[in-house]
Amino acid sequence: MDQLFLQKIEKISTKLEATGIKTISPSVYVSDFEGLEKQLQEMPMDDIDGLVLLVLTGGTEKMILKSAEKTSKPIILLTDSENNSLAAACEVIPELRSKGRNPKLIFSENLEKIDVEKIKKNIEVFQTIRKLKNLRLGLIGSRSPWLVSTIQDFELVKDKVGPTVVKVDFSEFLTEIRKIPDSQADGVSEKFLSNISESKEPSKEDVIQAVKIYLALKKLVKSHGLDFVTVGCFELIPEIDNTGCLALSKLIDEGIIAGCEGDLEATLTMVILNLLSSKPVWMANISSFDLSRNTIIFSHCTVSKDMLESPPVLRNHFESSTGVAIQGDLRKNAEFTIARLGGPKLDKMLLSSGIVNRNNLENENMCRTQAEIKLDGSVEDFIKNLLGNHTVLVEGDIRSKLRSLCNELDIETIGTNGFEK
């Protein structure tokens, strides 16, 4: 029997390693508390993303609980139909939940045929949670005064989601912008202009000024050790007669998630979706919806160029008719996950998905980039469960990963009842 168990351990470890997941496996399986204690002491608990316990037999319930006590990291229980493996897991799961843990049960009739991709997806969620706890979110300036559904409790952000919020005074931002000479911004602006389809309202001087905003933000990111930012961007308009739309677009293209209007919840949603998908994300307003067609129109004056099906058009900012905004078309018929973190305790996530039904709407009464999304689930349910205006979209269906992450962070997922892959 010992040899059979060792073979199971080796085969599953090999399969996980083949998917890029590094495992720390014992050389022998653990069958008593003395052996368990020895193995737990040897494991670098601070360096792991999660604990994967291969439950080989019944009678191991207390050993599972002992293992869980050694780390606060997420837990996966791998089980099969032999030797009361599943029975042991079923017995211990309620006790783990009573201690505030959310173990993930993965079952297969035969452990050698277990769904390794499912294990990998859960470990990727664990890795995302670990990354979130080490990130620094820069709040540059203040949130826009009309954002009445957003929080300003920095400790709650850290305790619930993980990142440390770093407040950067807006005057420092303005000083950095004004220190940048035209000559430094000119080369960047020329390169940017070579990758657009046209510039309608903005002049070359407008673009140079917008590039200065981008360069100043990059400097602040470096000097304050920030991983991502949200900017009180409307504060720029009376000071320098320009906007942060181009800057935020370029930062996202470069992998630095950047949100608008000092909206912490929406920016946190952006970074979560980015980490789970490794793709650029879009923060947008909810501008219109049609219950009969089950569609929502999202719009905003900035978007990552990497999300567009063709080079964008440069426009002026919708609300202020000044500065530089980005008008582009999301890929038609592409599937998007749609989400928003919120609630007074950051304990809810609005979640849905849909297909780009129409782009290139060119409605002059909305922000410049516009997309009509046909939801998989009910638009009526989506609107009933809103957690605020700003909503985040990422290409692809990552709802399953997002639900797993929310489960680990004790965040309730709400929204629509669309089909989930």
Q: 329 Cβ partners below 8 Å, 6+ apart?
A: 308, 309, 310, 359, 360, 369, 371
pLDDT at 303: 98
Q: What percent of the chain has pLDDT over 70?
A: 97
**127 and 141 fall within a common domain:** no
Q: Is residue 420 part of a domain?
A: no
pLDDT digits (tens, 9 = 90+) for 286-343: 999 999 999 999 999 999 999 999 999 999 999 999 999 999 999 999 999 999 999 9
126 plus 149 within the same structural domain: no
| Boundary-marking domain end, from 96, 111, 132 | 132
Domain endpoint, select from 67, 97, 132: 132
171 lies in the same domain as 95:
no
pLDDT in tens, 39-88: 888 888 888 888 899 999 999 999 999 999 988 889 999 999 999 999 99
Q: Domain check: are 222 and 353 in the same one?
A: yes
Looking at residue 238, what is its pLDDT?
A: 95
What gap in Å lies between CA 245 and CA 219, rounded to an integer? 17
pLDDT per residue over 131-153, tens digit each? 999 999 999 999 998 988 888 89
367 and 265 in one domain?
yes
CB 73 within 8 A of CB 127: no
The mean pLDDT of 375-399, rounded to a whole number, is 96
Q: Judge whether 421 lies within some domain.
A: no
More confident position, 297 or 15: 297
Residues 96 and 178 in one domain: no
Asked if 398 and 337 touch (Cβ cutoff 8 Å), the reply is: yes
Q: Do 106 and 157 belong to one domain?
A: no
Least confident of 33-37, 159-163, 218-222: 33-37
| Strand, helix or coil for residue 248 | helix
Q: How many domains does the chain have?
A: 2
What is the reported pTM? 0.91
Residues 213-238 have pLDDT tens digits of 999 999 999 999 999 999 999 999 99
Task: Give the CATH number for residue 284.
Answer: 3.40.275.10
Instruction: Provide mean pLDDT across the span 255-277.
Output: 98
In a domain, 145, yes or no: yes
Strand partners, 284: 391
Residue 323 CB burial class (10 angstroms; 0-12, 13-18, ≥19): buried
Q: How confident is the model at residue 25 (pLDDT cuts 50, 70, 90)?
A: low
In-domain check, residue 330: yes
Say yes or no to pLDDT of 27 above 70: no
Q: Within this chain, do residues 186 and 265 fall inside the same structural domain, yes or no?
A: yes
Residue 419 has pLDDT above 50, yes or no: no
Flag whether 96 is in a domain.
Answer: yes
What pLDDT is stored for residue 418 in this prediction?
45
DSSP string, 140-182: ES---TT-TT----HHHHHHHT-PEEEEE-HHHHHHHHHHS-H
User: Can you tell me the distance from the alpha carbon of 392 to that of 272, in angstroms, rounded to the nearest whole number?
Assistant: 10
69 lies in a domain?
yes
- pLDDT for residue 417: 56
176 and 215 belong to one structural domain:
yes
Instruction: Identify whether 112 is part of a domain.
Output: yes
Mean pLDDT computed over 188-205: 96
> pLDDT class for 1, splitting at 50, 70, 90?
low
pLDDT at 421 over 50: no
pLDDT at 369 over 50: yes
Average pLDDT, the chain: 93
Question: How confident is the model at residue 260, as a pLDDT?
Answer: 96
Q: pLDDT over 90 for what percent of the chain?
A: 78
Q: Which residue range forms the structural domain that includes residue 339?
A: 136-415
What's the CA gap between 14 and 341, in Å, rounded?
Answer: 37
- Considering the domain architecture, whether residues 92 and 235 belong to the same structural domain is answered as no
Strands 335-342 and 348-359, how do they pair? antiparallel
Are residues 361 and 370 in contact, defined by beta-carbon separation less than 8 angstroms? yes
CATH number at residue 17: 3.40.50.10940
Query: Residue 309: inside a domain, yes or no?
Result: yes
Residue 142 sits in the same domain as residue 78: no
- The residue from 85, 109, 132 where one domain ends is 132
Pairing, β 228-231 against β 136-140: parallel
What is the mean predicted confidence (pLDDT) over 175-200?
96
- Measured between alpha carbons, how far is residue 195 from residues 17, 198, 246, 306, 307 in Å? 41, 9, 13, 12, 14
Same domain for 190 and 286? yes
